[in-house]
Chains A and B, each alone.
Chain A
Amino acid sequence: MSFELEATVLERDVSVSLEVGPGETIAVLGPNGSGKSTVLDVIAGLLRPDRGHARLDARRLFDVGGTGRGHWLPPHARGVSMLAQDALLFPHLSVRDNVAFGPRSRGRSRAEAGARAAEWLERVDAAELADRRPAQLSGGQAQRIAVARALAADPALLLLDEPMAALDVSVAPALRRTLRTVLAGRSTIIVTHDVLDAFTLADRVVVLDAGRVVDSGPTAAVLERPRTPFAAGLTGVNLLTGVAEGAAVVLTSDGHRLAVRPVERLRPGSAVAVSLRPAAVSAAREQPPGASGRTTVPGRVTDVEPRGDTVRVRAGTLAADVSPRDAAELDLAPGVTVWFSFAADDATAYPL
């Protein structure tokens, strides 16, 4: 099963193209309002783009805004199931009838649909809930049933719109595990805010910002070598951009010279991104003595955020994790000047 999409929705300023390979799971990441849900609605057939086309295997889902009369397959004929943040189980049907809804709608007999529902309830570990009403389920159980319902319809493409976002942190891991099993070998697009979802479920990620695809590639590559502040923010790494001055020196846009460890050859004068874990950055109130291979950068503290056993000190584009004791000793507070320093080995540089 393979999927191709190219669509523009003028009203929401969204214009994207993406592909899903056979059996591939891609994660669509992006800040709120970046157009992720719009893209899913277009694929499911719930929103008509101004122009664009989509193909799922041999079937044309839509082709609109061109010169011809256009082509638009209604949602029920697409073979695209969607699972939203809320489970949205039909409140008037039992759990079993909810799951059997898809097969029934596609013309299976009551008995066949029932058997299929039982099978899927088994696969999401919810067989014992079959006779319950949706109002009698917890959020995690309901979402589990919703997964079974979406898959029982036998979709050629599955869309997941932040399926874990409304769940308690204590039940999300179990659902994530279930998803990892049932999504294997199934063409899926998952919209998420959670980098853990991307790492555990997706083969590839697509980063959306302001309605455009700004980055895409294998999950690890995109998240470990981010090109956008959003992607860097997901994993919490510092992202600095600048131009290469030498093989291992980068001049940042705010005028600092960094010693870096290039993971690809940097052409002098070309745009470069540098990623740096906050834990690898140390902070001091006085300028530390220069050491070879270490970069020292001054900054004015903008934010001090306690995070359990560390304190994240942010000054403009750079952040450092220091111990609470050091933070207290250094008397770090917004407005004071700090000196950040880090080793070149920790500053991974790659061309933008």
Chain B
Amino acid sequence: MSGSTYGGVPRWVAAVAAVGAAFVVLPLVAMLLRVNWADFVPLITSESSLDALGLSLRTSLASTALCVMLGVPMAVVLARTRFWGQKVLRSLVLLPLVLPPVVGGIALLYTFGRRGLLGQGFEAFGVTIAFSTTAVVLAQTFVALPFLVLSLEGALRTVGTRYEAVGATLGARPTTVLRRITLPLVLPALVSGAVLSFARALGEFGATLTFAGSLQGVTRTLPLEIYLQRETDPDAAVALSLVLVVVAVVVVAVAHRAGEPAGLRLRRRAR
């Protein structure tokens, strides 16, 4: 393939693509130009900043773990079984992708809030979820889950069931097949799906604000902190934004590597 030099891309397509790339990159450059480098370190190490950063990382990791625990079984059921109403269910599961996060936050409030569908029950045991760190994790999981389910389901369908059938005829129970064949085969997609979920959780704003509020150290994650600082201290907001951009770039790079089929990577290394 690398020997072929034929590109076949019309010039005008390349030109429009360049405009699109500029549209994505320029705002980042504009932000970089406004960073107050002299005070950069003090700005991102202030108490409120560190609180927000620590909370964001902790909650995003927790919600990523929750996404994996719930999302893997969901993807397996969607990809490997057929039942009545499955198409409808898949659309519903993916709804948080297209739903405005604020709407998600309101929905969560009416589910887990003090007077919510389930919240009333929790309240009876003295457990309050809304406006707690738990609420942050739930809000992030709600918006991030579809990323994991979507990427994993696609991978499961691509891998197909042939290896699983072989495993079953060799005497492996369904759980053994899942653990020793299915999951290892889709591991790259699982990793990239988890990384995407983590990134989405890290950037979550609307649902968190609506469902969890903005309490320093408890529910005020980095995006909320940035939004708040923007009013009083624009330099701090820009500095923290840069931190988020760096984390996002790292995450995208990791996801991109993990998303490659393992065999391809192996072959390239051998060359």
Residues of A within 8 A of B (CB): 44-46, 74-82, 84, 86, 88, 90-93, 101-102, 105-106, 133, 135, 149-150, 153, 159
In the assembled complex, the CB of B260 is this many whole angstroms from the nearest CB of chain A, namely 14
Chain A residues near B187: list those with CB within 8 A. Answer: 92
Chain B interface residue number, banded = 20 to 34
Across the two chains, which residue of chain B brings its CB closest to A154? B171
Chain B residues near A88: list those with CB within 8 A. Answer: 162-163, 166
Q: Top 8 A-B pairs ranked by shortest CB distance?
A: A105-B172, A75-B168, A102-B170, A92-B184, A105-B171, A153-B170, A82-B169, A106-B171
Across the two chains, which residue of chain A brings its CB closest to B168? A75
Q: Is B50 an interface residue (CB 8 A)?
A: no
Chain B residues near A74: list those with CB within 8 A. Answer: 168, 174
Given contacts A81-B169, A153-B170, contact A101 B180 (CB under 8 A): yes
Chain A residues near B167: list those with CB within 8 A. Answer: 90, 101, 105
B124-167: CB near A (< 8 Å → 1, else 0) gives 00000000000000000000000000000000000000110111
Within 8 A of A (CB), among B231-271: 262-263, 266-267
Bound Cα distance from A75 to B172, whole angstroms: 9
Contact A81 B168 (CB under 8 A): no
Chain B residues near A106: list those with CB within 8 A. Answer: 171
Chain A residues near B168: list those with CB within 8 A. Answer: 45-46, 74-76
Q: Is B46 an interface residue (CB 8 A)?
A: no
Chain B residues near A81: list those with CB within 8 A. Answer: 169-170
Contact B263 A135 (CB under 8 A): yes
Bound Cα distance from A92 to B167, whole angstroms: 13
In the assembled complex, the CB of B199 is this many whole angstroms from the nearest CB of chain A, namely 26
Across the two chains, which residue of chain B brings its CB closest to A41? B165
Across the two chains, which residue of chain B brings its CB closest to A82? B169
Chain B residues near A86: list those with CB within 8 A. Answer: 162
Chain A residues near B170: list those with CB within 8 A. Answer: 76, 81, 101-102, 105, 149-150, 153
Bound Cα distance from A92 to B263, whole angstroms: 9
Contact B173 A76 (CB under 8 A): yes
Chain A residues near B262: list those with CB within 8 A. Answer: 91-92
Chain B residues near A102: list those with CB within 8 A. Answer: 170-171
Task: Show 26 A/B contacts (Cβ-Cβ < 8 Å), sorted by A.
Answer: A75-B165, A76-B177, A77-B171, A80-B169, A86-B162, A88-B162, A88-B166, A90-B163, A90-B166, A90-B180, A90-B181, A90-B184, A90-B185, A91-B262, A92-B262, A93-B184, A101-B170, A101-B172, A101-B180, A105-B171, A105-B172, A133-B266, A135-B263, A135-B267, A153-B170, A159-B169
Chain A residues near B36: list those with CB within 8 A. Answer: none
Q: Is B176 an interface residue (CB 8 A)?
A: yes
B170-210: CB near A (< 8 Å → 1, else 0) gives 11111011001100110100000000000000000000000
Chain A residues near B162: list those with CB within 8 A. Answer: 84, 86, 88
In the assembled complex, the CB of B14 is this many whole angstroms from the nearest CB of chain A, namely 36
Bound Cα distance from A257 to B267, whole angstroms: 66
Residue in contact with A44 in the complex, picked from B169, B184, B267, CB distance below 8 Å? B169
Contact B171 A92 (CB under 8 A): no
In the assembled complex, the CB of B269 is this many whole angstroms from the nearest CB of chain A, namely 12
Given contacts A88-B162, A90-B163, A105-B176, contact A75 B169 (CB under 8 A): yes
Chain A residues near B184: list those with CB within 8 A. Answer: 90, 92-93
Given contacts A105-B172, A106-B171, contact A91 B185 (CB under 8 A): yes
In the assembled complex, the CB of A124 is this many whole angstroms from the nearest CB of chain B, namely 16
Known: A92-B185, A149-B170. 17 other contacts (CB 8 A): A45-B169, A75-B165, A75-B168, A81-B170, A82-B165, A88-B166, A90-B167, A90-B185, A91-B185, A101-B170, A105-B180, A133-B266, A135-B263, A135-B266, A135-B267, A153-B169, A153-B171
Chain B residues near A76: list those with CB within 8 A. Answer: 168-174, 177
Bound Cα distance from A102 to B177, whole angstroms: 11
Chain B residues near A77: list those with CB within 8 A. Answer: 171
Chain A residues near B263: list those with CB within 8 A. Answer: 91, 135
Bound Cα distance from A90 to B262, whole angstroms: 13
Bound Cα distance from A93 to B162, whole angstroms: 16
Bound Cα distance from A82 to B262, whole angstroms: 26
Bound Cα distance from A75 to B168, whole angstroms: 6
Bound Cα distance from A76 to B171, whole angstroms: 4
In the assembled complex, the CB of B165 is this many whole angstroms from the nearest CB of chain A, namely 5
In the assembled complex, the CB of B203 is this many whole angstroms from the nearest CB of chain A, namely 32
Across the two chains, which residue of chain A brings its CB closest to B162? A88
Chain A residues near B165: list those with CB within 8 A. Answer: 44, 46, 75, 82
Across the two chains, which residue of chain A brings its CB closest to B170? A102
